[in-house]
Structure 1
Amino acid sequence: MSRLDAIGFDADDTLWHNETFFQMTQAHFAELLADHAERDHLMDRLLEAERRNLGIYGFGIKGFVLSMIETAVEVTEGRVPASVIGEILAAGREMLAHPVDLLPHARETVEALARDHRLVLITKGDLLDQERKLAQSGLGDLFDAVEIVSEKTSATYARAFAPEGSEAALMVGNSMRSDVRPAIEAGAWGVFCPSELEWELERAEAPDHPRYRRIAHLGELPDLIAAL
C-alpha cells in the first residue's frame, strides 16, 4: 500500500485526447487563410494571439476560436470574408461536440487507484466543456472531487489536496508547466505523463527534484505509486 492518500489527475491529454482536435482545427484554419498568410507565419500569429488572450478568455475551445477570429482579422487587415468567420465558428462548435476518446490505460488505471485512494480531477478550461467531457468519459463516478479552474498554481493543488495535505498527495498530467511543477511547489509529488502532441504554451523544463517522476503512459502509474 502506498503512503499516498490522494491522487490528482489532469484531464485533457492525460485521460482523453484533446490536442489532436486543436491541431486538426488549426490545419483547417490554415487552409481557410491560405490566400492571405503562409502557414508557419499564420500559426505564429495565432500562438501570439492565444498567449495575449489567455488572461482575458482563459483556456479552452471558446478562447481558441476567438483567437482564430482575431488572427484572421489581423492577417487580412480587416478584409476577412464573413464566410471564413462562419467556418471558424463552425469548427469551434464541432470541437465542442466531439465525442470523448479515452487514452490507453486511462480507465483501468483510474479504476485501480480509486479502490485505495481519494481521487481528484484537476483540470482547467471552459466549465461547460470540461463537465461535458467528464460526463461522457464514464469516469466521473470514480472521482471524489472535481476541480475545474482557470489556472493551475501551487495554491490550486494545496486547496485540492487540503483534506490529506499535499505531502500525502500526487499529481499526474501531461503538462510540465501546469501539472508537475506547481504540484511539487505545493509539496506533492509531480508525475509527468507525456502526450503525443504538446501545446507550446504548456512546455517547461523538468524539475530537478526528489518528488518528480516520469512515466511513459498511465498504465505505469499504479506500480509507481505502490513503490513510493
Structure 2
Amino acid sequence: MAPRKQPRVFLWDLDDTLMWTSWAYSRAFSKFHDYLLELFDYRLIELRTLGTLSEQIDKDLIRAENPDTGKPYGYGMERFPTSLVKTYEWLCERGYGEYRELVARRIKMIGMEAFDPLGYKQQGLVKGARETLDYIREQGDVQILITKGEVLVQDYKIVALDLDRWFGEEIYIVDSKNKGTFEEHQRRFPVSRMYSVGNSYPSDVQPALEAGISAIYIPYYTWLGEGSDAEVDPARVLQLRKVDEIIGLYKAGILA
C-alpha cells in the first residue's frame, strides 16, 4: 500500500480575505462625518480631505502609546475610535469648534460601532469562501486561521461567522504577523506543503515567504496601515482575484 500523502496546510487570514471588514469602518466614519456636520453647523472640510486626515492619524496611532495601557495601540479595538477623537481635536485646534469631552465620548462610541458583532453576522463570509473551506476540508487538508487584531474583536467575528466549523481549535489571534508567526506552524508540519492565504502582502505574503512558505495572494487594498503591494514572484506566490479560485487550483493540479 502506498504511503498516505502528507496533507497540504493552509494558513488563512480572516479580515478582508474570508470576510469583508472595510465597510464597517466606512459606515462608522460616515456617521462621524454626519455628526461633525451638525456639530459645526456645516462648516467642515471636504469629506475626502477629512478621510485622508483621519486615516493618517489612525496609521500613526499603530505605534503610538495608549496612555491607558502603556503599550502601543497596534491593531487593537481602541485605535480606530481614538483616531476619530483625535481628528475632532485637530479640527477644534484649527477653529472649527470648541473641544468638549462629552462630544469626544460620543465620537468614540461612534467609532466603536465598527465592531458590532451583529453586523459581522449579517454580512457573513465573502462570496465563495464557504464552498472553498468545505472543499479543502473534504480533501483531508489542514486549515489554520491566523488573524491579527484584538482578541475580543476577533472573537466577535469568529463566533458570528461560526468559523470553528472549519478550523476547530486551529484558531490563533496575534498582535502582528512576522516570520516567526509562520515558522511556528511550519515546525508543526515539517514535511507538508504549506500556503499562507491572504489579502495583505506585508502581513500575509512577505513574512510567509521569509519563513520559506508559499503564498496564495488575493490582493485587496484596505487602508494606509496595511501598506502597499509589492512585486509578486510567480514561482512562490499564486495571485488570485477571488477566494474560490483555490478550488480551480486543486482541480488543475497546481497545488502540490
Q: 1:39 aligns with which of 47, 50, 65?
A: 47
Report the alpha carbon displacement of residue 38 of structure 1 after superposing the two structures with TM. Answer: 3.0
1:164 maps to amino acid: F
Contact preservation (8 Å) 2:151, 2:173: yes
- Give the helix-richer structure, 1 or 2: 1
Quick one: which of 247, 251, 255 aligns to 1:222? 247
The question of 1:184 aligning with 2:209 is answered: yes
Percent of aligned pairs with the same residue? 26
Normalised by the length of structure 2, the TM-score is 0.79
1:146 counterpart residue number: 171
- What is the CA distance between 1:83 and its match in structure 2? 5.0
Partner residue of 1:73? 89
Distance 2:237 2:190 in 1: 17
Residue 137 (structure 2) aligned to one of 111, 114, 123 = 114
Aligned CA distance change for structure 1 residues 90 and 166 (closer, same or farther; 3 Å)? farther
> In structure 1, what residue type is equivalent to 2:112?
R
Q: Any gaps of 5 or more consecutive residues in structure 1?
A: none
Tell me if structure 1 keeps the 8 A contact 2:59–2:224.
no
Identify the residue that residue 110 of structure 2 maps to in structure 1.
91
45, 54, 61: which is aligned to 1:53?
A: 61
Q: Distance in 2 between matches of 1:2 and 1:30?
A: 55
Indicate if the aligned counterparts of 2:148 and 2:175 stay in contact, CA closer than 8 A: yes
Q: Specify whether residues 186 and 166 from structure 1 end up closer, same or farther in structure 2 by C-alpha distance, changes over 3 A only.
A: farther
Residues 1:166 and 1:10: Cα distance change in structure 2 (over 3 Å): farther
* Matched-pair contact (CA < 8 Å) for 1:171–1:189: yes
Using the TM superposition, give the Cα deviation of residue 69 of structure 1 relative to its aligned residue in structure 2, in angstroms: 0.9
Q: Partners of 1:108 and 1:185 in 2: how far apart?
A: 30
Report the Cα offset of residue 10 of structure 1: 0.6
Distance 1:102 1:212 in 2: 24
Secondary structure at 2:176's aligned position in 1? coil
2:152 alignment partner in structure 1: 128
| 1:185 to 1:2, Cα distance in 2 relative to 1, 3 A | farther
**Distance in structure 1 (CA, Å) of the matches to 2:186 and 2:164:** 18
1:158·1:165 contact (CA, 8 Å) conserved in 2? no
Aligned to 1:198: 222
Structure 2: unaligned runs, 5 residues or longer = 38-42, 64-71
State the 1:47 CA deviation: 2.0
Partner-residue secondary structure (3-state), 2:17 = coil
2:40 corresponds to: none
Q: Which moved more, 1:59-68 or 1:82-91?
A: 82-91
